[in-house]
Amino acid sequence: MIVLRAARRGAADWIVRFMPTANCSVDALAALALRDVRIQRNGGFEVSLKDLTLRDREVAALVGPSGCGKTTLLWGVLGLLPGVSAAGVREVLGQAWPGTGTVAWRKMLAGPVTIVMQDAKAALDPLQRIGVQVETITGRDSNQVAEAFSRFGLADARRFAQAWPHEISGGQAQKVLLAIALLRAPRLLVMD
C-alpha cells in the first residue's frame, strides 16, 4: 500500500493507494492519470491533487473529513459539476479526458468509465422497476441481472428485480449500483 499526500488547500488529506498483488498482470496503459489537477468552483472553493496514476487492477481511495472536497474533486475531474473549472492533466485510458458535454465525453461515461454515486437511491429511476433499470443500463438479460444481484447478497434476486426503488433500502440500492458496475465491466470504476 502506498499513501500519497494531497495538496492541502481544501483537498482530501490523503490518497490511499492499494497495489495489486504481485501475480496480477498490470497493463502498461494507465487507466487514470491525474497530474497537477485543480478543480475550482465558481472562482472560490478549490481542491487540488498533485499526482495520481492508476493502472489496471489498482485501487486508490481519497480519504478525508466530510466537506474537504473529495466528491468535488472526483466529479470535477469527470466533468460532472456545473460552474466548475478544471485545470491540469486528466487522462483516462491513455487519452485526454474529453470536453464536458461532447459526444466523446458521453461515450466515455457510457462505456469504459462507470460511476457509482454516493446517493444510490437518488441514482435510481423511481418510475421503473429495479430489474428493468439494470437490464436497460447494462444491456444484460434478466438471468444475468439476477445472478449479479445474488452475488451481492440480495435474497430472492428475481423477486427483488420486480421491486420499485421506493420499496428497497439504501443499502440495497447501493448493491444495485454495484451490480450495474459489475455487469458493465468498466475499465475504470469511480465510486463516490
pTM above 0.75, yes or no: no
* CB-CB contact of 92 with 31 (8 Å): yes
Torsion angle (degrees, nearest 10) of CA 151, 111, 11, 57: 60
pLDDT in tens, 120-160: 999 999 999 999 999 999 999 999 999 999 999 998 999 99
Question: What is the C-alpha to C-alpha distance for residues 152 and 27, in angstroms, rounded to an integer?
Answer: 27
Residue-averaged pLDDT of the chain: 82
Q: In the prediction, which pLDDT does 29 show?
A: 66
pLDDT of residue 93: 86
Residue 180 clears pLDDT 70, i.e. is over it: yes
DSSP 109-164: HHTTEEEE-SSHHHHS-TTS-HHHHHHHHH---HHHHHHHHHHTT-SSHHHHHT--
Q: Is the pLDDT of residue 108 over 60?
A: yes
Q: How far apart (Å, rounded) are the C-alpha atoms in residues 138 and 117?
A: 16
| DSSP class of 142 | H
